[in-house]
Structure 1
Amino acid sequence: MTALVFLALLLIGLPVGLILCLAALAYIVQSGNPLLLDSYPLKMFTSLDNFGLLAIPLFILIGELMNAAGITTQLVRLAAACVGALRGGLAYINLLANMMVASILGSATAQIAMMAKVMVPEMEKAGYDRAFATGLTAFGGLLGPIIPPSIVFVVYAVLAQVAVSDMLMAGILPGLLLTLLFVLTVAVLGWRQGFPAGQGLPWRDRLAALRTALPMLLIPAAVIGMILGGYGSPTEAAAVGALLAALVGIFHTRSLRLRDLPGILLRTGLSSALVLFLVAGAGVFSWVLIFGQVPQMAAGWIQDVATTPMAFMLLVLVVLLLVGTVIDGIPGLIMVVPILLPIATDVYGIHPLHFGVVVSVNLILGLLSPPVGVGLFVAASVAGVSPLRVVAVTLPFYAVACAALVVLALVPWFSLALLP
């Protein structure tokens, strides 16, 4: 009954957080146990009673302040100064700027929408196909939830009860790996298709771009440095990052005005409430799953199919890629982690941080996977092109991302090398 209620509500199109809450209620009604109903609100509350979750609204606030302060445009200019002279320079600029923005924003869909507005028109003016520019921007946005700070990683850390700082550190090498592979893909495509030659800048202009962008680069440097150096928790680092973003916007770019702050805080509150409601719904949903011994039943079935950790990871890749095509990253994470994590750690001995990186990247890649591909639709909508054309011209990037996902799944070193 619970599964039918869940699927029916999903098909109707209700918000995933509400679906999780109603599916949990359906199980309680089916079980006929009134004590479960008494504990229902308590479980929702205790799911949010975690200091690490405070990092989520602060990371969202950093992104909102960055947008209002015009920091994105300055980072694009810095990327142009670094790699603009190469053949296919704007394509490299797109990826490099996405990596810089990812180290501040941490949200794939927000980053894709923002960068599509900035980069697609510029690339089209330079002679690039509009659909290719849109798809490249979408895949560059894939870096957002991987390179820290990452809201997806914070949510996973809370669900898996691991240190948020360790989870964020685990995403650094995978994010750099994806960036490198995308750069190599641009190089190959540029050589084969004859991308437009870039325009180099004099060293004086390059240094000027660096001086202008340096205060903005202090934001991710401070956030990541505090986390890696052990000088503060991710929540405290995010608070410092938000303060720096506000100061840069007010005194450096002078694009952020005090009268903008109420609107920024309102948008931050609404976005944070959406994510935290998902976490609360996940708390009660996970609780009824454990009460109904769903993880144990799933473990029995999976052990019959996958006899080794490698086989288990490959099975997870296939299943989650399908889940990610129809469900966004954080809701998908909230649904699958309570079921799969105990199996991964207890049955197959997989490190929870390694599993978290693979699951998160897997679900994020689903944002760019047909038939739904929310990220592709966001980019195509902003750029005004057909999503089917975007899919067709960016298949090489999708293939490279899938290959990187397999490497991350089978080689734990990328996820665990930087951990203390």
Structure 2
Amino acid sequence: MGIAIIAFIIALIGGIPIAFVMGITGVFHISQMGNPAFFSVITQRIFSGMDIVGLTCIPFFIVAGEVMNASGVTSKLLDFTRSLIGHFKGSLAYATVFIAMILSAILGSANAVASILCSIMIPEMKKDNYPEEFSGALIASSGILGPVIPPSVTFVYFSVLSNVSVNALFMGGIIPGLLLAIGFSTVIFFAVKKFDLPVGDAFNPKTLAKSFITALPALLVPFIIVGGIMLGIFTPTESGAVAVLAALLAGIFYKKFKLSMLPAIFIRSAITTGGIFLIIGFGNVIGWSMAMDKIPQAISAAILGFTTSKTLIILIMLAMLVLIGCLMEAFSAMLLFTPVMLPIATAIGMDPIHFGIVFCIMLTIALVTPPVGMVLFVTSNISKISLHKLSRAVFPFVAVALVITLIIAFVPGLVLWIPHLLKIV
């Protein structure tokens, strides 16, 4: 495994796309295992990794995000939020978190939420003289809510890898998602004083009523999707299709969407989906080779042999996830470390749903941590804000998210209460 690790580090530092980094590492590892017959399995493992019915919801959520971006939904949500809380200092910042929650319940993706917020919120914050690094860091961090508030692409993939109920994961993510939103709002509260953020428009009941009616179609979409999943009306894949339909109907209602936009939307969505599935496919090669070499069992035995303290083992796993998240893309990290950490979690008595939520949130937080923070790159590219500035400004949001995740890790009821209430566990 040593040569494979060296190959992984060199490929990663060399800037090779993460999908191919995973493939190269897998090939080097297979070459070390000393069985030439294993090379004939590579192509099969690539395609079997992608050929999973549970993953079919991913392209739907990506298309929904593209349609939402083109349909003007976010601007209507912004108008409603400003009329509701505009009279508070820093109202635009609080509005960003609120809108991120709504978008998260439709799109299920951090990159989609952050890219849409960038296109709408950055110009508005510039008008009100918000510090650009704070604006960018807030938007990138709000993107974290995308894979936590259901429906979530990340939870879908963890479910595929672990055989844990995806509906239970969706419902288990509701309270953690709300806690993260409250945590980010707390950071905003202190930033209001630090940066002397401006007050928005004065409160006007007539304006509020008008903006609410206009925004109602967009506000109803997440309730339809999440409610449909909670009541068992939709499967995750069907909820993705409903998200696309809802985004299309909202775009038509707001008269911003045109059918001529569809070809470009489908092309962009296909490229994004292809990138994700390449990571999954090539990652399945190294995942298979590690399983054949019994590496997950060796790591599990080493940790459980070091200590039997549940508290200490949870802290070790969280520390490992922080380090892993700083170096690896979330999907590839999930593929490699789900078979390593899930057996450890179950061995110390953690509920698989509870572990899955904590595991996914930790890797989601990594999306805004350097050097591989994908959402930071997306936010920087769209907003034209320096990546260096974003990396520094995002620290308070990351710190709060880590503290909240630590609390969630030791208070399983925060995850399991709703699934138990709905009797889906």
TM-score, length-scaled by structure 1: 0.93
**1:225 CA displacement:** 1.3
After superposition, residues 164-179 of structure 1 pair within 5 angstroms as 164-179=166-181
* 2:383 aligned partner: 383
Equivalent position amino acid for 1:86 in 2: F
Equivalent position amino acid for 1:182 in 2: F
**1:64 CA displacement:** 1.1
* 1:348 aligned partner: 348
* 1:146 aligned partner: 148
Equivalent position amino acid for 2:202 in 1: G
8 A Cα contact 1:65 1:245, kept in partner? yes
| Number of equivalent positions | 418
* 2:228 aligned partner: 226
In 2, the alpha carbon distance for the partners of 1:22 and 1:129 equals: 42
8 A Cα contact 1:222 1:241, kept in partner? no
C-alpha distance 379-273 of structure 1, shift in aligned 2 (>3 A): closer
Secondary structure (helix, strand or coil) at the match of 2:151 reads: coil
In 2, the alpha carbon distance for the partners of 1:177 and 1:131 equals: 24
After superposition, residues 11-410 of structure 1 pair within 5 angstroms as 11-191=13-193, 193-250=195-252, 252-345=253-346, 347-410=347-410
**1:372 CA displacement:** 4.7
Equivalent position amino acid for 2:348 in 1: Y
Equivalent position amino acid for 2:263 in 1: P
Secondary structure (helix, strand or coil) at the match of 1:338 reads: helix
In 2, the alpha carbon distance for the partners of 1:380 and 1:358 equals: 27
**1:201 CA displacement:** 3.6
Secondary structure (helix, strand or coil) at the match of 1:417 reads: helix
**1:42 CA displacement:** 3.0
In 2, the alpha carbon distance for the partners of 1:377 and 1:285 equals: 26
**1:395 CA displacement:** 3.5
C-alpha distance 295-78 of structure 1, shift in aligned 2 (>3 A): same
Equivalent position amino acid for 1:373 in 2: G
8 A Cα contact 1:52 1:164, kept in partner? no
**1:312 CA displacement:** 1.6
In 2, the alpha carbon distance for the partners of 1:32 and 1:330 equals: 28
C-alpha distance 34-318 of structure 1, shift in aligned 2 (>3 A): same
8 A Cα contact 1:59 1:149, kept in partner? no
Structure 2 gap segments, 5+ residues each = none
CA-to-aligned-CA distance 1:311-343 (integer Å, 9 cap, x gap): 122112222112212322222222221222222
Equivalent position amino acid for 1:140 in 2: S
C-alpha distance 275-392 of structure 1, shift in aligned 2 (>3 A): closer
**1:109 CA displacement:** 2.5
Equivalent position amino acid for 2:278 in 1: F
CA-to-aligned-CA distance 1:380-414 (integer Å, 9 cap, x gap): 34333333433444433232112112112111112
In 1, the alpha carbon distance for the partners of 2:364 and 2:381 equals: 19
C-alpha distance 247-351 of structure 1, shift in aligned 2 (>3 A): same
C-alpha distance 243-386 of structure 1, shift in aligned 2 (>3 A): closer
Tell which deviates more after alignment, 365-374 or 91-100: 365-374
TM-score, length-scaled by structure 2: 0.92
* 2:415 aligned partner: 415
**1:165 CA displacement:** 1.8
**1:227 CA displacement:** 0.9
Equivalent position amino acid for 2:373 in 1: G
C-alpha distance 237-382 of structure 1, shift in aligned 2 (>3 A): closer
In 2, the alpha carbon distance for the partners of 1:187 and 1:37 equals: 56
**Cα RMSD for the two superposed structures:** 2.1
8 A Cα contact 1:314 1:409, kept in partner? no
In 2, the alpha carbon distance for the partners of 1:113 and 1:238 equals: 19
In 2, the alpha carbon distance for the partners of 1:203 and 1:341 equals: 51
In 2, the alpha carbon distance for the partners of 1:34 and 1:395 equals: 47
**1:7 CA displacement:** 2.5
**1:20 CA displacement:** 2.3
